Amino acid sequence: MSAASARRRYALVQFLMWLPPGLMMAPMVLLMSARGLDLGEIGLVGAAYSVTIVVLELPTGGLADVVGRRTVLAVGTGFSAVGLVVMALADSVWLFFVASLFKGVARALSSGPAQAWYVDALHAAEGPDADLKPGLAVGSAASSTALLGGVLAGGLVPLVLPGDEVLRLSVPVWCGAVAAAAALVAVVVAMPEPRRSTSRGGPARSRAAARLGEILTDVPLTIRDGFHMAVRDRGLARLLLVSAAGGMMLAAIETLTPVRLAELTGRLESGSTVYAFVAAVGFAANAVGSSVAPLVARLLRTSTRAAVAAIAVAAASLGGLAASVALSGTAGIVAAGVAYFLVFAALSVEELVRGELIHLRVESARRATVMSVDSLQLQFGGLLITLGLGPLTTGLGIGGTWAAVAVLILVSSLLFVRLPARRVVPVPAPTRT
């Protein structure tokens, strides 16, 4: 497979994987509310999603390194499709809870395998010195484009369709289930992997049992080795810690912005619609930032300088969002949109160059596991800030909370200063004979 083919396939898979979350984003809370859930129950459903990811993130990353990226990603897209179907049909808190569990499993399964597959494919085509940034940028832009289009469609479709309100709100979720099924097909067809050898001799059932035993043994070992790698390599540990700070920032923005927009518009429904457009601006910024990240790294000459500059821009932009709470009406909405664009464009630059720095330190056999550690850090950061949002907003208000998080993000840029140099030449994962 050529490098260009690997990039195209990676971009397609990324687009289809992120389209379902985009489609359900705007109507999700309103659908649960329309079917009788109160805010406490909606919070329980959201917590089930986060806890599922935290519990399964490392095991699923290790599983991808043992049984293959395509297999794990296909299972993940299958869980996504089923979870969205359950969500579209749910009429009680427990069914929404089950849907959230399925979506959490899907997120944990799909957090690292696609990117790990692309890096391995590119190394196979061009060698270990291949430039990762262009392909990673294409994949990030594709996922951002999917989220942008999905959130706009999810926010607008219920407004233009006739009929019952609950049915209209469920239509984007059904569309997300269809998109998840398409992603499953794309993963199976577009992500070829070398066939892994099986034990020789004996009946088919014995070989299958032996393979299952190998998997159950190898996954914990792979998780242990990947986690130890992240702890022992001080540079890698720093890069992963940045992800926790990023999770805090994303949680603070994504949780408080809908509340702020509802205050500006005066109604929850109109605030949700406006949030769909503001979120779309953020996803567009992700696509732009991912596209220009390689250029930014070239202009600043190193990836670490590009990451520090991007974090500084993101912190300053979040500070601007904090200051915008003094505005009202249209001016406040416009200010939120501008701040969203700058924050997410800068974050996407930082994420891309940080991802490259991580891959340069990780061998192929542990790549998906380390990406799961990175995703786990993001979830932990988000969980910490979510637990503290109540006291923070009570004491500081929305603007003060954003300002405090902006300072925290700016401090995290120090983790890139004098980053220990280390480069691991990727090697293929061992196969059993």
* 12 SS3 class: helix
Residue 368 confidence (pLDDT): 64
User: 224 lies in a domain?
Assistant: no
List the domain range (segments joined by +) for residue 293: 229-419
CB atoms under 10 Å from CB of 98, counted, come to: 18
425 pLDDT more than 80: no
Residue 219 confidence (pLDDT): 53
Of 186-190, 273-277, 363-367, least confident by mean pLDDT is: 363-367
Residue indicated by tokens 């059932």: 205
Amino acid identity, position 6: A
Q: What's the structural domain count of the chain?
A: 2
- In 3D space, the residue among 141, 127, 58, 113 whose CA is nearest the CA of residue 374 turns out to be 58
User: 100 lies in a domain?
Assistant: yes
Structural element, H or E, at residue 17:
helix 3-25
Residue 203 confidence (pLDDT): 47
Residue indicated by tokens 């499953």: 184
Q: Are residues 234 and 183 in the same domain?
A: no
405 pLDDT more than 80: yes
Q: Are residues 124 and 270 in the same domain?
A: no
Q: Are residues 113 and 254 in the same domain?
A: no
Q: Higher-confidence residue: 73 or 193?
A: 73
How far apart (Å, rounded) are the C-alpha atoms in residues 136 and 47? 30
User: 351 lies in a domain?
Assistant: yes
User: 218 lies in a domain?
Assistant: no
How far apart (Å, rounded) are the C-alpha atoms in residues 99 and 94? 9
C-alpha dist (Å) from residue 76 to 17, 61, 222, 234: 10, 12, 20, 31
User: 38 lies in a domain?
Assistant: yes
Q: What is the CATH number of the domain that holds 362?
A: 1.20.1250.20
Residue finishing a domain among 137, 167, 191: 191
How far apart (Å, rounded) are the C-alpha atoms in residues 376 and 380? 6
Confidence grade of residue 158 (pLDDT, cut at 50, 70, 90): confident
Helix orientation angle between 303-323 and 268-300, rounded to the nearest 10 degrees: 150
Residue finishing a domain among 164, 191, 218: 191
pTM of the complete model? 0.66
427 pLDDT more than 50: no
Q: Are residues 245 and 392 in the same domain?
A: yes
Residue 202 confidence (pLDDT): 44
Q: What percent of the chain has pLDDT over 90?
A: 21
Q: Are residues 397 and 341 in the same domain?
A: yes
**pLDDT 10s digits, 296-331:** 888 888 888 899 999 999 999 999 999 988 888 889
Q: Are residues 246 and 394 in the same domain?
A: yes
Q: Are residues 376 and 251 in the same domain?
A: yes
Q: Are residues 274 and 367 in the same domain?
A: yes
Q: Are residues 180 and 276 in the same domain?
A: no
Q: How is residue 70 written in tokens?
A: 């395509």
Q: Are residues 256 and 400 in the same domain?
A: yes
How far apart (Å, rounded) are the C-alpha atoms in residues 64 and 61? 5
User: 274 lies in a domain?
Assistant: yes
How far apart (Å, rounded) are the C-alpha atoms in residues 23 and 345? 21
10 pLDDT more than 50: yes
Q: Are residues 166 and 284 in the same domain?
A: no
Phi-psi region of 429 (alpha: psi -120 to 50; beta: other; left: phi over 0): beta
**pLDDT 10s digits, 237-247:** 888 888 888 88
User: 206 lies in a domain?
Assistant: no
**pLDDT 10s digits, 210-241:** 544 555 555 555 556 655 665 667 778 888 88
pLDDT, mean over the chain? 79
Confidence grade of residue 83 (pLDDT, cut at 50, 70, 90): very high
**Rg of the chain's alpha carbons, rounded to an integer?**
21
Q: Are residues 393 and 282 in the same domain?
A: yes
103 pLDDT more than 50: yes
Residue finishing a domain among 136, 164, 191: 191
Maximum mean pLDDT: which of 46-60, 94-108, 194-208: 94-108
- In 3D space, the residue among 288, 311, 292, 289 whose CA is nearest the CA of residue 238 turns out to be 311
**pLDDT 10s digits, 168-188:** 888 999 999 999 999 999 999
User: 263 lies in a domain?
Assistant: yes
Residue 286 confidence (pLDDT): 79
